[in-house]
Structure 1
Amino acid sequence: MAERGKANQNLNLQSQSPIIKRHSHQSIGQCLTHISSPNELTFTFNPPHHLNQTTPATTKFLVNYLPLLQNPPLHLAILVAADSDFVIDAPTEKRKSGDAGLESVKEKLRCAGYLWQAFTAEQMHRNGFGRRVFRLYEEWQPDTMSNQETSLRETAKIYIIRTKYTKEELLDPDRAQQYKRPPGTPNPKKKDLFAIFMEALRDYGPPFDRQCYVAGLILDSHYDPAMDLIRGHAALGGGADHIRLGIFGSHLTHAWPRCLEQVVSCFQDDTNITQDLANDNGESYTWWKCCNIGIGAMLHEVGHALTLPHSKSGIMSRGYNNLNRTFTVKEPHRNTPVLPQDENGAHWHRCDVMRLRFHPCFRLATDPSNDHDYKHAYPTFWPVDDSVLVKCMAGISLIEVKLDDQFQTHFEFPDEQPHEWRLQIDHIKKQVGWKNGQRLDIAIITTGQEEHTLVDAHSFLETHRNLYPDIGLALKSGTLGSSGGSKFEVIFPKSNAHVSKVRINSGIFLDGLKFYWSNKKNVSIGGKGGSASKFELTKREKLVSLMVKAGIYVDGIEFKTNLGRTSGWRGGMGGCELTVLSAPEGHEMVGIHGTAGSLIDSIGIIYRPVQH
């Protein structure tokens, strides 16, 4: 990170142990693998006096780095109040030395961003995916990643995002995530800090007016000893519309390194914090722990912004308490060197790694291109015999299994991502030790970062099989859309009549459907709003599939027959990507089901084995 562009960089390192020195080489080398190419790195080891060796040992590496500018970057941003004084909570000596002002905080956030990169690249490498990693948005400006020089380079840009809210408003206890309102006190329902940060990003304009990923630090966070509360702080990550955001307060930033040369010392500083500084979660009572938890917990929120949920272990649990062990081989109060196997929680869980492998921020030029028509296709569930068939045109990258909301195991597809996969429910229940009454949930993650969970798989199989008077045993697919409204089932006639016509009422949503049989009977579902269109079928035709877009409601639909004719698209184009609902191989569509009120809320199909 010390140089962007063609460079020769010398690092003069000293150590008390050859073992520690070798590990130091590796750790710093990990940090330096993201420098713009080409870069010649020279490592000089000055041996301690007791080795009776006076000649320094020198090793050179040539590092080539090609920035993948086609990938969306992670933007680093600092939110400041309308009347901010641009100073963070910090020990007195750091305030006096100027280490608590805005410029210092910008340098600290920049350094943290590159440490996140180094950590993640190493984790991806250990998991067999090379050193792929997200990129930071960079500009040509004075670089602060080395205190040896401050020349102009491509380096991470820090956006200063000013909000219209005053410091007093940001520090309102009701907005602090950790505030516990006294019992019986009404909730004022004020806009929270995450929403305030999102609003400020939208007001800022480009590049936050399109799909973007943002790591946001709240500058004016302040620890209130009287309330024992970190005001103006929230640790949250997620997204709305086109912005994916992870936020964290600045209350621990005083302990972060400003440049590469300070990384080791900041992770080793065992100075106790004073009572006027935050001891976040009761785990930040020394400077090096503040450094660990501040940088690591913010990375946790960035993980949420990159679509990662909480995981069984690692950074997306509370593994960031050991983040220092990735970058140093010594730890305060530890008498032995820290080896890679001692890093404990400082890792991305394998499921996190699998999600990141297919994230657009992590793509390599050599990766197969995504089919943009199905990039965000939704996975659908289809009961078949004693199993559930999962179908998704985007491809399935990961399957996670939980019992009573606790992670148990996963199945991954790193090389080839199937469009269909059969879940043997009985086998999975045995594998995870399922007991009667437990809820077995199976989450499907696609290559397009979409996720859909089969809730209570055991009950799903039981409730999606029915005996019908005219057709016998039939199966019901999972539905697209929400579960609001009243349930409906429509079984198409099979003997003395056939579907002769479908009336579709639609506007920006699918309002309602009316099916006409050739024997003059009909059935209606949903409402009669929007405009009506009719799709007529011949005696030789039958409905075989639906193409659907759905979100909270069913946005639009298209019917298709066995002769290849379609009704044409009816409704709006909101919701998730187009999803085709067609019976699994060896089965035929015999009806539809779902929920409806004044609109069609959700829809699926009913099917049975082909009758010979």
Structure 2
Amino acid sequence: MIVPVPSSLSPVLINVKNGEIVHQRILLVYGQAGPKDRDFKSNITVEHHVNNFPSTTWPVFNSHFKSLVHLDPGPNDIKFILDQEPYSSPSTFSPPLTTTITINYIPLLQNPPLHLAILVAKDSNLVIDAPPEKVVNAENNLSSVVAKFRCAAYLVFRLEEEWQPDTISGQKRALRQTAKIHIVKSDFTLKEILDPQRAQQYKPPPGEEPSKKESLYDIFMKALKNYGPPFTDPRDNSDKDNSLQCYVAGLILDSHWDPKMKLIRGHAALGGGDGDIRLGIFGSHATHAWPKYLEEVVNCFQDNTKTDESILANDCGESGTWWRCLGHALTCPHSASEPNNPYPIKPSDENGAHWHRCDVLRFRYHPCFRIPRDPPRNYDNLCPDFWPSDDAILICCNSNISLIELHINDRYKDHFEFIDYFRDNYGDDRNNSNDGNRNRLHDGDVKLSISEIKKRISWNPNDIISIQVIGRNQTENSLNNILKFLDEHQIELPSIGKALKSSMLGNGQGQKFQVIFKKSSEKSSSYLKKVTIKYGSFIDSINFFWSDESVSSIGGKGGHNKYSFTLDKEEKILGIKVRSGWWIDGLMFKTNKKNTEWIGGNGGSLHNLFLPKNYEMIGIFGTKDKLIDGLGIIYQKQ
């Protein structure tokens, strides 16, 4: 007698529906298969009916499974087949326990991709740290690292791609649209990159002066710019927005564990931006444990081999076994269980495998993570700026604020978030109860009072309270000591009274200056009639000329270019648009009657020194040396 296996054993997909549209090439599919009341192990085979990607096999634990499914653009007919060996016997006939589903993959080509780059020293040996058994199999060479980097990155991001032999599967090499990896050669030697003083975790002995050598981050950034496209863009910075920036994940190939120094040389885990490029870098010391192919993902995440610290790094004591070298940094799935864990790990139980809430808020408005139904975003490159106001701080950001983090002594304590769910999805603010939005004054501005901060965190008198602000355009700015900021930025001017100072842009290490436009004497009829700026790639000097023939000059004597503009008696300066980093790179003045041209260079980040509502600008302040290296404005209530 033929007894068919009950259809209830067939795979059931939980997180994806038939005909669903997705936007990632490698899709995590979670489901159930087999009897739900038996302790068993089995396998799911994933077959692709349309594309030429090889079949892959994924484990089933107690009816639960996870699989990483490769997709091609367009409709993909995917078959999930449960291995019947645990159920079949010679006296039974088992039809295939199969579920077929169509998944539509639409790549979001309108979003900026993540570029992958591997930095190599100019005399690199082109190998990474690896245990002897992997060295024998040549799993430590550059081609192996390229495959590992590609596979690991596809588990998270949409990547820059090109048509070339694909390495995502180890079974059959085929031409596919796959991630491009740039091999970026440095001008620095292996010895220079492995200099202990450049390692992020290097602790100088007592009395040793801090190193003034170029950092690993600077070395990587310089190599990208020397490499050329896609890491260089000839357009003027002032014409750009942050949605068009180049996002790069950078792997330092030549990182090396030094067991005598207990130091990972050639390694730094840092991120930041420089003009067109947003770069995150990290060393290759744990790459030996990464999967090269999708077929290796399960084994790599299950590999409980202990790290031999005589040849391999146990980074921060958190990589004691090989599967921990992957950890949750990639938000990759456990296939269904962790080493020594006999039960399946469901998505709801993956404690520790989640992004921190603050990271999620950063990603919410990031151009790399846009989906088609998201409303249009303002991706200008203006940074958030700070303005003191009695016992509160006004935070202004032209593109709106998504997150304010609160730190005590440089450690995260709490945050305010500004996620307008209904505005994002329906164009209005109905039922919006997010805890940060009640602080919002109007679009782009947030008022954060000291009393509000005290409700969220408690601190001791000697603690330093700082805030980190992230705009929806992915710009960031920090205020390192809010109580000191409020105290130092409220001033008393003779015959004018109480006034306020904005935050100062630039490094602020030169000689202090202050220029007041508003005359203290009511009898004086003198007014500001002309401003002259000398500049090159930076602002060298600013000269103010009054109608009574008096002059205020700030800055040095350099600058091969000169720009002047005049003001009439009724004309007032309302604000200054500024690009700044270590110095004041460039600026543009705005009056109640006109805007000047852009004056100076286009480096640094862009800021608006434009007043909050109901205030008037009465002067500027800052610091000067050979160049203007600090600039802010002085203002008071109208």
Q: Provide TM-score, normalisation by structure 2.
A: 0.76
Evaluate the alpha carbon distance shift between residue 249 and residue 5 of structure 1 in structure 2; reply closer, same or farther with a 3 A threshold. farther
- SS of aligned partner of 1:15: strand
Q: Tell me how far apart the structure 1 counterparts of residues 419 and 454 of structure 2 sit (CA, whole Å).
A: 24
Q: Tell me how far apart the structure 2 counterparts of residues 176 and 586 of structure 1 sit (CA, whole Å).
A: 50
> How far does the alpha carbon of each residue in 1:474-509 deviate from its partner, in whole angstroms, 9 at most, with x for none?
222223333122333333116222414233232224
Are 2:168 and 1:145 aligned?
Answer: yes
Q: 1:585 aligns with which of 605, 610, 613?
A: 613
Judge conservation of contact 2:530–2:546 (CA < 8 Å) in 1.
no
Q: Tell me how far apart the structure 2 counterparts of residues 189 and 469 of structure 1 sit (CA, whole Å).
A: 44
Match of 2:573 in 1: 543
Are 2:588 and 1:572 aligned?
Answer: no
Alignment of structure 1 residues 377-396 onto 2, 5 Å: 377-396=382-401
Judge conservation of contact 2:532–2:563 (CA < 8 Å) in 1.
yes
**What is the letter of the counterpart of residue 17 of structure 1?**
N
Q: Which has the higher helix share?
A: 1
Judge conservation of contact 1:376–1:576 (CA < 8 Å) in 2.
no
Are 2:77 and 1:40 aligned?
Answer: yes
Q: Tell me how far apart the structure 1 counterparts of residues 414 and 565 of structure 2 sit (CA, whole Å).
A: 47
Match of 1:526 in 2: 555
Match of 1:126 in 2: none
- SS of aligned partner of 2:508: coil
- SS of aligned partner of 1:278: coil
Judge conservation of contact 2:576–2:590 (CA < 8 Å) in 1.
yes
**What is the letter of the counterpart of residue 158 of structure 1?**
I
Match of 2:104 in 1: 64
Judge conservation of contact 1:272–1:285 (CA < 8 Å) in 2.
yes
> How far does the alpha carbon of each residue in 1:380-422 deviate from its partner, in whole angstroms, 9 at most, with x for none?
2222343222222232222112222221222222335931121
Match of 1:250 in 2: 284
Shifted more, 59-68 versus 415-424: the winner is: 415-424
Q: Tell me how far apart the structure 2 counterparts of residues 460 and 168 of structure 1 sit (CA, whole Å).
A: 44
Give the superposition deviation at 1:223: 4.2
Shifted more, 527-536 versus 253-262: the winner is: 527-536
Q: 2:381 aligns with which of 376, 380, 395?
A: 376
**What is the letter of the counterpart of residue 493 of structure 1?**
K
Are 2:513 and 1:476 aligned?
Answer: no
Report the RMSD for the aligned CA atoms in angstroms: 3.6
> How far does the alpha carbon of each residue in 1:186-243 deviate from its partner, in whole angstroms, 9 at most, with x for none?
8886655444444444444333334533333344444455555545544444444544
**What is the letter of the counterpart of residue 154 of structure 1?**
Q
Match of 1:400 in 2: 405
- SS of aligned partner of 1:266: helix
Q: 1:7 aligns with which of 27, 51, 70?
A: 51
Evaluate the alpha carbon distance shift between residue 381 and residue 154 of structure 1 in structure 2; reply closer, same or farther with a 3 A threshold. same
Are 2:357 and 1:327 aligned?
Answer: no
**What is the letter of the counterpart of residue 322 of structure 2?**
W
Q: Tell me how far apart the structure 2 counterparts of residues 99 and 6 of structure 1 sit (CA, whole Å).
A: 32
Match of 2:485 in 1: 460
Give the superposition deviation at 1:154: 1.0
Alignment of structure 1 residues 205-244 onto 2, 5 Å: 205-210=228-233, 212-225=246-259, 228-244=262-278
Match of 1:493 in 2: 519
> How far does the alpha carbon of each residue in 1:321-346 deviate from its partner, in whole angstroms, 9 at most, with x for none?
xx66x322211223433233443332
Judge conservation of contact 1:13–1:45 (CA < 8 Å) in 2.
no
- SS of aligned partner of 1:483: coil
> How far does the alpha carbon of each residue in 1:168-202 deviate from its partner, in whole angstroms, 9 at most, with x for none?
66555555555566667788866554444444444
Match of 2:434 in 1: none
Judge conservation of contact 1:14–1:46 (CA < 8 Å) in 2.
no
> How far does the alpha carbon of each residue in 1:427-475 deviate from its partner, in whole angstroms, 9 at most, with x for none?
2223212443432222221122221122322232222222323222222
Give the superposition deviation at 1:570: 6.6
Evaluate the alpha carbon distance shift between residue 43 and residue 462 of structure 1 in structure 2; reply closer, same or farther with a 3 A threshold. same
Give the superposition deviation at 1:347: 2.0
- SS of aligned partner of 2:130: coil
Evaluate the alpha carbon distance shift between residue 599 and residue 499 of structure 1 in structure 2; reply closer, same or farther with a 3 A threshold. farther
Q: 1:156 aligns with which of 176, 179, 189?
A: 179
Judge conservation of contact 1:234–1:248 (CA < 8 Å) in 2.
yes
Evaluate the alpha carbon distance shift between residue 74 and residue 547 of structure 1 in structure 2; reply closer, same or farther with a 3 A threshold. closer
Are 2:324 and 1:289 aligned?
Answer: yes
Match of 1:102 in 2: 142
Q: Tell me how far apart the structure 2 counterparts of residues 4 and 83 of structure 1 sit (CA, whole Å).
A: 43
Shifted more, 46-55 versus 356-365: the winner is: 46-55
Give the superposition deviation at 1:263: 1.0
Match of 1:505 in 2: 533
| Percent pairwise identity | 48
> How far does the alpha carbon of each residue in 1:110-150 deviate from its partner, in whole angstroms, 9 at most, with x for none?
211112x1xxxxxxxxxxxxxxxx41122222222223433
Q: Tell me how far apart the structure 2 counterparts of residues 559 and 174 of structure 1 sit (CA, whole Å).
A: 43
Q: Tell me how far apart the structure 2 counterparts of residues 345 and 173 of structure 1 sit (CA, whole Å).
A: 32
Q: Tell me how far apart the structure 1 counterparts of residues 361 and 102 of structure 2 sit (CA, whole Å).
A: 30
Consecutive unaligned residues of structure 2, counting only runs of 5 or more, are 1-24, 27-46, 234-244, 425-442
Q: Tell me how far apart the structure 1 counterparts of residues 194 and 585 of structure 2 sit (CA, whole Å).
A: 41
Judge conservation of contact 2:469–2:477 (CA < 8 Å) in 1.
yes
Are 2:415 and 1:410 aligned?
Answer: yes
Are 2:614 and 1:609 aligned?
Answer: no
Judge conservation of contact 1:4–1:154 (CA < 8 Å) in 2.
no
Q: 2:474 aligns with which of 442, 449, 457?
A: 449
Q: Tell me how far apart the structure 2 counterparts of residues 167 and 553 of structure 1 sit (CA, whole Å).
A: 33
Evaluate the alpha carbon distance shift between residue 59 and residue 528 of structure 1 in structure 2; reply closer, same or farther with a 3 A threshold. same
Q: 2:311 aligns with which of 273, 277, 287?
A: 277
Shifted more, 243-252 versus 600-609: the winner is: 243-252
- SS of aligned partner of 2:337: coil
Are 2:584 and 1:554 aligned?
Answer: yes
**What is the letter of the counterpart of residue 250 of structure 2?**
G
Judge conservation of contact 1:504–1:570 (CA < 8 Å) in 2.
no
Q: How many residues align?
A: 553
Evaluate the alpha carbon distance shift between residue 599 and residue 65 of structure 1 in structure 2; reply closer, same or farther with a 3 A threshold. same
Q: Tell me how far apart the structure 1 counterparts of residues 613 and 269 of structure 2 sit (CA, whole Å).
A: 47
Q: Tell me how far apart the structure 2 counterparts of residues 138 and 166 of structure 1 sit (CA, whole Å).
A: 30
Evaluate the alpha carbon distance shift between residue 99 and residue 547 of structure 1 in structure 2; reply closer, same or farther with a 3 A threshold. closer
Q: Tell me how far apart the structure 1 counterparts of residues 186 and 563 of structure 2 sit (CA, whole Å).
A: 49
Evaluate the alpha carbon distance shift between residue 34 and residue 426 of structure 1 in structure 2; reply closer, same or farther with a 3 A threshold. farther
Q: Tell me how far apart the structure 1 counterparts of residues 335 and 577 of structure 2 sit (CA, whole Å).
A: 54
Are 2:159 and 1:136 aligned?
Answer: yes
Shifted more, 500-509 versus 7-16: the winner is: 7-16
